[in-house]
Structure 1
Amino acid sequence: MKINKFLVLLFTLFITSFSFSQGLLEEKNNFTHQDTLRGSITPEREWWDLTYYHLDIKVNPEEKTIIGKNTITYKVLQPYQVLQIDLQKPLTLTKVTQNDQELEIKHDGNAHFVTLKNQQNVGDINSVVAHYKGKPREAVRAPWDGGISWKKDKNGKHFIASSCQGLGASVWWPNKDHMYDEVDSMDISVTIPKELMNVSNGRLKSIVDNKNETITTNWHVANPINNYGVNINIGDYVNFSEVYKGEKGDLDMNYYVLKDNLDKAKEHFKDAPKMMKAFEHWFGPYPFYEDSFKLVEVPYLGMEHQSSVTYGNQYLKGYLGKDLSGTGWGLKFDFIIIHEAGHEWFANNITNVDIADMWIHESFTAYSESLFLDYYYGTQASADYVIGTRQSIQNDRPLIGKYNVNNEGSGDMYYKGANMLHTLRQLINNDEKWRQILRGLNSEFYHQTVTTQQIENYLAQESGLNLQGFFDQYLRTTKIPELQYAINGKKLTYKWNNAVKNFVIPIQIEVNGVSQWITPTLENQTLKLKTKNPKIVVDRDFYIKTKTL
């Protein structure tokens, strides 16, 4: 079908911004000391393993302030006496204590180095309490330029939410702000004005009336959680729920929406159980049954907060009512419900160690959009959609960023990454095997942080294919391989151009309507044809370019 030029422009703008971080908008080459402190596993981080957080805060909507503390419990892996806690300005780390003793803090920008008095012995389980206060950074354009969104609903009630991917969870609470170490479990206590409700991750354990003008909501997260996945959402909420009969039994699915939107949400959120059915089919059981699944309305577009997925797509199909693929298929589902919930498997279950490998989160999840369509509308619809998204790909820089400096790769990690995976599906050439590989990823790396190399190795091993050149091409360069071919009588000559040296993958073509595989290399290959000058069609499912010589 003909692509609407406005949609192309919208999609291009979307893909350069939907990375949830300004870091994707332009390449950064000059990294600072603060980048290293934020993005590397420093000596002050590596010696201790997170086991438990209790974040206990009071949110003051009128003043736009937070005051509270985080109890950080950890296991000692090796002897060391200095511990790094991260908290971003303008928030202030007022004191850190251990066993009720106040500790010395050396402040270095957003990193704070705490000298411990007690000997840290291998195997010990210890805790420190980090006290803080202040006005956290206000989100400029959440979720891409995040922080705390201090908004009001149309009735004048406070409507507040956190979003901090890329920017870091330390923008609003003190923690060990690096992806490699996920806390094993967590409690989140939030004190707010009593006419409001706070929704956070995990399950609601209690609401305490403080006998004044406030209440405290207490949430418990039973599973490991990455720092940016932790959230607060404060508003004039109402709740409705259902029980989904899933692969691991009954799954509680809860929905928190503004009061005025209850009726439309009950109809529109029917996409949520549909999502769960499709993704459990493709990826395996939802990874957080113990913590339930929630959709929570917020005053920005949405984010993949673990077991507390945030929603702001205005109760429209597509992306704010637009089809980002330009094919029509993108209007068959609510983009935010499907995409952000897909992150429960890729981002929250399987989490990158270093944000440079964020393609693991975004490529698989962007690809999940087409798999949702595949489940309900078939393989053709799925292919139409993912191929339609190629119009957005910029090929501005590689999908993998710079390591150890909190640097993300190109925004192409969404739909270039999705088309890379769609191409891999063709190479495997067995949809049930492909499904088992996707499910196997979520089983093999269940609740783990991973590197690109681990994902590459798993996909190569389970597929039985040599994929080194494949990943080098699509992840580490901006070059799209070009199939060059010429027909002379009954001879087809072909080769790869614009490809890395080890890029040797087969592709499927049709010769006069008959499908067959060829394996181009960087050198000319030939194929004898049955007829002269036949019609050659290259399978569109492979993300490549073609050129007839």
Structure 2
Amino acid sequence: MKNRRINELLVLCWLLFSFNSAAQAQEISSERQNVLRGSITEQRAWWDLQHYQLSVAVDIGEKRFSGSNLITYKVLSDVRELQLELQQPMVLVAAYQQDTKLAIRQEGYSYFITTVAANEVGKEYQLRVEFNGQPHAAKNAPWDGGVTWSEDGGGMPFIATSNQGIGASIWWPNKDHGYDEPDRGIDMFIEVPQPFVNVSNGRLVNVEDKQDVGSRIFHWQVKSPINNYGVNINIADYVNFSEVYQGETGPLDMDYYVLRENEDKARMQFKDVLRTMQALEHWFGPYPFYQDSFKLVEVPYLGMEHQSSVTYGNGYQNGYKGRDLSGTDWGLKWDYIIIHEMAHEWFANSITAKDIADLWVQEGFTTYAEGLFVEYHYGKQAGDEYQQGLRQNINNDKPVIGPYHQHKIGSFDMYPKGAALLHTIRQVINDDDKWREILRGLGTTFYHQTVSTAQIEQYIIDQSGKALGSLFDQYLRDNRLPILEFRIKGQQLTARWSNVIEGFEMPIRASIGEQEQWFNLTTQWQPFELHEGELVWDNNFYIAQAFLALQ
């Protein structure tokens, strides 16, 4: 009875501590929190993340995580206060360096830790933080993020983390900003009850059975840089099967972890994986994580691009939950989640947006990759049709790029409109071999890097030799759709762009009878002589048309 009373008091103390932490968090405005989360503060800029060693014990019955994170960092400038994030109701309990407990102050869910002494520039140091709590339970994963606590068909635990938008700090303490990734990756030690299996990122190094407490510790290792939101935990009564893909860089281990009840369906549906890898390596270059392998893991939500541990929950059906987002039927010939989430290995995991304002770099290129997959396997006309069909999902409600340094995204048009922009640029370049070189060159030039829109823009402009600046500005920084206004009198065309930013210019292609003709249009009316035949503007350009009657 005495021990029970002590346990109750300990729980009460923890609840009071959690309540006080949450109350403190409420004192900070959402605007202030967004600035702390979305900007490269002084407390972030002075240290360069090198490695995480994340240890987490998962208590399934209590829906609780507890553990530690050993952070290795390199000093860039002489500052002592270090910023991490951990969101309520999780609690950062303590921080240690050189066996000394460190002082911590808190603003919202941002923690500021004072290191032991002035750090020497150029040297590496380690800092260990301890944490525990009941992480936010996702209600509509992966969009609201958190932990999904579910069960398989036999009533066994089926658990997964997902946190792209809300951030990895929803369940573990980290430097929660996209600009800095651990250069030497992460080692994860995940303890789960026997007989369940944990699947996380990278390669499985070891499984330690702790018979005395009835648990198992899975050690997963990632050697490449990894974005925080790509780190994941998946727990279930998984079965594993595998194959080897002979890719551009050599043999690649392909592992599949699925619920025991779904193994037969998975062996059939996951045939899309090899042909996806073939198409994506053709267009984007070698898979970026050969040293960390590739996994596709079944989860109790739709799926997400966790690095080298891509998650899947599309119900073993083609399309997006059985639907074709393009309305062309091409999207029903393959599994949307497999293709889309695998493409994120190139754009999101290898090439990562520094600021989520530029999230189109990840989502636009990945949505565009869907059409490239169609083109690779079904032909160029099929790919064009798919790309054109995706435009029905564009709202043009606000700019694709969001406000910088505020942890805010732009329009969800970043998916289909980002793809439409890229497909339009391909037409302007008018050289498919050059376009493929540019796509593959992005993968090489920005391999395992965090980037900005400006860097991507400049690379494409430089490699193409085309004046594309106003296209990027129009489609990414303005919400209006360019309107092609034109008049025809006899064999003379007059045309211009309207509903556009000042200085917008873009050439456009048309077919006239059996011939092709280009028109270099600006915002000023210009006359052009037409070939004989009917004028048909190329529908691969994402624009609106307005034929104006002669006055």
The residue that corresponds to 1:281 in the other structure is: 282
The alpha carbon displacement at 1:530 in A equals 4.8
Q: 1:63 maps to which residue? A: 62
Deviates more, 1:103-112 or 1:485-494: 485-494
Name the structure 1 match of 2:198: 198
- Structure 2 counterpart of 1:338: 339
What pairs with 1:224-263 in structure 2 (closer than 5 Å)? Answer: 224-263=225-264
* Residues 530/388 of structure 1: CA separation in 2 closer, same or farther (3 Å cut): closer
1:154-178 CA deviation, whole Å, 9 max, x = no partner?
Answer: 1010000000002010000000000
Match of 1:82 in 2: 81
Report what 2:464 is aligned to.
463
1:488 Cα offset (Å): 1.1
Asked whether the equivalents of residues 331 and 386 of structure 2 are also in contact (C-alpha less than 8 Å), the reply is yes
Give the aligned residue type for 1:171: I
Render the CA deviation track for 1:257-307: whole Å, top value 9, x for unaligned: 000111111111000010100000000000000000000000000000000
Q: Which has the higher contact order (CA 8 A, sep 6+)?
A: 1
Equivalent-residue separation in structure 1 for 2:425 and 2:493 (angstroms): 25
Give the C-alpha shift of residue 502 in structure 1: 2.2
Instruction: Give the conservation status (yes or no) of the 8 Å contact 2:297–2:309.
Output: yes
Residue pair 2:512, 2:531 contacting (<8 A) in 1 also = no
- Aligned partner of 1:46 in structure 2 is 45
Q: Write out per-residue CA displacement over residues 101-141 of structure 1, whole angstroms, 9 at most, x where no aligned residue.
A: 10010011100011112221101210110100000011010
- What is the alpha-carbon distance in structure 1 between the residues aligned to residue 177 and residue 483 of structure 2? 39
Work out whether residues 401 and 477 of structure 2, in 8 Å CA contact, stay in contact via their aligned partners in 1: yes
Q: Kindly provide the CA deviation profile for residues 31-62 of structure 1, in whole angstroms up to 9, marking residues without a partner as x.
A: 61000111010100000000010000100111
Which residue number in structure 2 is paired with residue 503 of structure 1?
504
- 1:389 and 2:358 aligned: no
SS at structure 1 position matched to 2:371: helix
Residue aligning to 1:9: none
CA gap of 1:192–1:497, structure 2 versus 1, over 3 A, is same
Report deviation, 1:389: 0.9
The 5 A counterparts of 1:468-479 are 468-479=469-480
The equivalent of 1:512 in structure 2 is 513
Change (3 A) 1:525 1:402: same
Identity of aligned residues (%): 53
Cα separation, 1, equivalents of 2:172 and 2:545: 51
TM-score, normalised relative to structure 2: 0.93
> 1:138, 1:149 within 8 Å by CA — same for their partners in 2?
yes
2:118 corresponding residue in structure 1: 119
Which residue of the partner structure matches residue 106 of structure 1?
Answer: 105
Q: Which amino acid aligns with 2:187?
A: D
* Residue 176 (structure 1) aligns with: 175
Q: Which residue of structure 2 lines up, in the alignment, with residue 405 of structure 1? A: 406
Match of 1:313, SS?
coil
User: Which residue identity does 2:449 align to in structure 1?
Assistant: Q
Shift of 1:477: 0.4
Offset at 1:529?
3.1
Q: RMSD in angstroms over aligned alpha carbons?
A: 0.9
Report what 1:8 is aligned to: none
User: Residue by residue, what CA displacement relative to the aligned partner does 1:469-510 show, whole Å, maximum 9, x if unpaired?
Assistant: 010100000111111111112211111111112221110012
1:422 aligns to what?
423
Equivalent residue number for residue 91 of structure 1: 90
Aligned amino acid, residue 327 of structure 1: T
Amino acid at match of 2:191: T
The answer to whether the Cα contact below 8 Å between 1:31 and 1:405 also exists between their aligned partners in 2 is: no
Alpha-carbon shift at residue 89 of structure 1 (Å): 0.4
Following the alignment from structure 2 to structure 1, what is the Cα–Cα distance between the partners of residues 338 and 531? 51
Q: Distance in 1 between matches of 2:531 and 2:293?
A: 60
Q: Does 1:269 align with 2:270?
A: yes
Distance 1:112 1:529 in 2: 66
Q: Which amino acid aligns with 1:493?
A: T
* Structure 1 SS opposite 2:506: coil
Residues 295, 310 of structure 1: 8 Å contact kept: yes
Instruction: Work out whether residues 153 and 261 of structure 2, in 8 Å CA contact, stay in contact via their aligned partners in 1.
Output: no
Separation of aligned partners in 1, 2:216 and 2:493 = 75
Distance, in Å, in 2 between the alignment partners of 1:472 and 1:415 is 17
Task: Show structure 2 runs of 5+ residues with no match.
Answer: 1-28
* Secondary structure of the corresponding residue to residue 523 of structure 2: coil
Give 1:209-228 correspondences, 5 Å limit: 209-211=209-211, 212-228=213-229
> 2 CA distance for matches of 1:251 and 1:529?
54
Structure 1 counterpart of 2:48, one-letter code: D
Q: Contact (CA 8 Å) 1:468, 1:502: kept in 2 or not?
A: no
Number of residues of Structure 1 aligned to a counterpart in Structure 2: 518
Partner of 1:208: 208
Report the secondary structure of 1:34's partner residue: helix
For structure 1, which segment, 459-468 or 505-514, has the greater mean C-alpha deviation from structure 2 after superposition? 505-514
Residue 322 (structure 1) shift: 1.0
The code of the aligned residue for 2:251 comes to D
- Contact 2:145–2:166 at 8 Å: present in 1 too? yes
Structure 2 counterpart SS, 1:398? coil
Are the equivalent residues in 2 in contact too, given 1:76–1:120 (CA < 8 A)?
Answer: yes
State the shift of 1:511 in Å.
Answer: 2.0
- Which region of structure 1 is more displaced relative to structure 2, 342-351 or 115-124? 115-124
Partner of 1:19 in structure 2?
A: none
What is residue 528 of structure 1 aligned with on the other side? 529
Aligned-pair CA distance for 1:516: 0.5
Amino acid paired to 1:318: G
TM (normalized to structure 1)? 0.93
Give unmatched runs, 5+ long, in structure 1.
1-29
Distance in structure 1 (CA, Å) of the matches to 2:325 and 2:486: 32
Q: Is the contact made by 1:149 and 1:160 (CA closer than 8 Å) also made in structure 2?
A: yes
Q: Distance in 2 between matches of 1:515 and 1:339?
A: 34
Please tell me the residue identity of whatever aligns with 1:397: K
Whichever residue aligns with residue 205 of structure 1, its letter is: V
2:263 counterpart letter in structure 1: L
- Alpha-carbon distance in structure 2 between the residues aligned to 1:485 and 1:383: 25
User: Is the CA contact (8 Å cut-off) linking 2:363 and 2:418 kept in structure 1?
Assistant: yes
Deviation at 1:380, TM superposition (A): 0.5
Separation of aligned partners in 2, 1:389 and 1:113: 44
Q: What is the DSSP-based 3-state SS (H/G/I as helix, E as strand, rest coil) of the residue aligned with 2:190?
A: strand
